[in-house]
């Protein structure tokens, strides 16, 4: 009897053979590393739910940046934790707000590093929502004005990319118009175009201290059950002038990453969020999985799904392992 079948294993016979036919690769250029800058002094505090991730104050930023550069990371995503919060998140757009201060300092000392500014209000508002609040409502159009102010303040401080994450409708149109008018025509917008209301953000809310004080974010972030809505969100952001499209979270939403990659001709960014990072850390700490293998498998899966860039807390670890591999 002569069997007819394909010998797929021919291309898996050795590490060299597997390397020869490998379809996707990771490099340090793929990663954007989130940084939490804490207003104040003498702070370098590990986030308890995110081992290896630290909140740092300005006096500890040099050591942190040196470490980032030594790992070969070329871009950072900045989040600020202000000492004072108010109803409209004034510290988000104040000229001396912590992110503006940090951006100016990084630009001066590490001019080659790309600074992506997260443009949101939740870390800066007393109620912890991403926009203006009236009663129990999150106001859309009123919030846009504050977001535009924030984006302009970030650009004035030297941010290379503006990344609005607030999920108000029209934020790309508003921020694009505001940046253009303020003379920042060449500053791109990396839009959190497709952002779901996710429980995977839990550890981030400890890191950035921006948990909503009432209700949740379900009236502005997307329902995890929806796919077609992601097309509508991405379409409007493209039409409004976005330069990059973020899909967030990453791991449970790889189908959406692929959809966005196949249907829109802009760089796609997967946000490998805090909860995804923490799950692996916790399982690895228990000896239940191999951290290095799991993290690298997760990251290559983003590339396979179509992500051009990955925002990830694992960037330092991954860069270190990539170096060892070479």
41: which 2 tokens? 């002094």
Q: Which stretch binds ligand PBG (CB under 6 A): 12-20, 63-71, 117-125, 224-232?
A: 117-125
154 near ligand PBG, rule: CB under 6 A: no
Given the residues 74, 85, 149, 195, select the one marked as catalytic.
195
273 near ligand PBG, rule: CB under 6 A: yes
Asked if 116 contacts 80 with a C-beta cutoff of 8 angstroms, the reply is: no
155 near ligand PBG, rule: CB under 6 A: no
Site string (30-59) toward ligand PBG, x via CB under 6 A? ------------------------------
Q: Quick check: is 248 catalytic?
A: yes
92 near ligand PBG, rule: CB under 6 A: no
3-class secondary structure, 53: coil
118 near ligand PBG, rule: CB under 6 A: yes
204 near ligand PBG, rule: CB under 6 A: yes
Distance (Å) of CA 29 to CA 38, 103, 188, 264, 318: 26, 20, 18, 22, 11
Sign, CA dihedral 286-292-294-298, equals positive
Among 31, 184, 201, 244, which residue interacts with ligand PBG (rule: CB under 6 A)? 201
Asked if 143 contacts 93 with a C-beta cutoff of 8 angstroms, the reply is: no
81 near ligand PBG, rule: CB under 6 A: no
Q: Quick check: is 281 catalytic?
A: no
259 near ligand PBG, rule: CB under 6 A: no
Among 154, 274, 278, 312, which residue interacts with ligand PBG (rule: CB under 6 A)? 274
165 near ligand PBG, rule: CB under 6 A: yes
266 near ligand PBG, rule: CB under 6 A: no
Given the residues 74, 85, 149, 248, select the one marked as catalytic.
248
Could you identify the residue written with the tokens 């250029």? 29
Choose among 142, 132, 189, 143: nearest CA to 164: 189
> What b/e readout covers 74-83, taking b as 16+ CB neighbours within 10 angstroms?
bbbbbbbbbe
Residues 6+ positions from 45 with CB-CB distance below 8 Å: 38, 54, 55
233 near ligand PBG, rule: CB under 6 A: no
237 near ligand PBG, rule: CB under 6 A: no
Q: Rounded to the nearest whole angstrom, what is the least distance from the CB of residue 111 to ligand PBG in the complex? A: 26
Asked if 152 contacts 99 with a C-beta cutoff of 8 angstroms, the reply is: no
Question: What is the spatial distance between Cα 242 and Cα 174, in angstroms, rounded to a whole number?
Answer: 11
Binding residues (CB under 6 A) for ligand PBG: these are: 118, 120, 122, 130, 165, 201, 204, 217, 273-274
Which residues are the active-site residues? 195, 248
């Amino acid at each position: 009897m002569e069997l007819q079948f394909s010998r797929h294993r021919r291309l898996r016979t050795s590490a060299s053979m597997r390397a020869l036919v490998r379809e996707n690769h990771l490099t340090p250029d793929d990663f954007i590393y989130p940084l939490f800058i804490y207003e104040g002094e003498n702070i370098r505090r590990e986030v308890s739910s995110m081992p290896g991730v630290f909140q740092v104050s300005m006096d500890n930023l040099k050591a942190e940046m040196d470490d980032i550069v030594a790992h070969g990371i070329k871009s950072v995503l900045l989040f600020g934790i202000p000492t004072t919060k108010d109803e409209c998140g004034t510290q988000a757009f104040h000229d001396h707000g912590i992110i503006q201060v940090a951006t100016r300092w990084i630009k001066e000392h590490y001019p080659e590093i790309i600074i992506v500014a997260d443009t949101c209000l939740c870390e800066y508002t007393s109620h912890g929502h991403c926009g203006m609040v009236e009663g129990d409502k999150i106001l859309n159009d009123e919030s846009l004005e504050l977001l535009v102010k924030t984006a302009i303040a970030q650009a004035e401080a030297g941010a290379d990319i503006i990344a609005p994450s607030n999920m108000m409708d029209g934020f790309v149109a508003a921020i694009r118009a505001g940046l253009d008018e303020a003379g920042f025509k060449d500053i791109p917008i990396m839009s959190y175009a497709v952002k779901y209301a996710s429980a995977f953000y839990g550890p981030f809310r400890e890191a950035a201290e921006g948990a909503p004080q009432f209700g949740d974010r379900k009236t502005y972030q997307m329902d995890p059950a929806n796919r077609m809505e992601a097309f509508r969100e991405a379409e409007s952001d493209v039409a409004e002038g976005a330069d990059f499209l973020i899909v967030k979270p990453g791991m449970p939403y790889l189908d959406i990453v692929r959809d966005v990659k196949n249907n829109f001709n802009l760089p796609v960014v997967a946000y490998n969020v805090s909860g995804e990072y923490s799950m692996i850390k916790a399982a690895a700490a228990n000896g239940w999985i191999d951290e290095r293998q799991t993290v690298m498998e997760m990251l290559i899966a983003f590339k396979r799904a179509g992500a051009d860039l990955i925002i990830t807390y694992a960037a330092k670890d991954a860069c270190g392992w990539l170096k060892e591999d070479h």
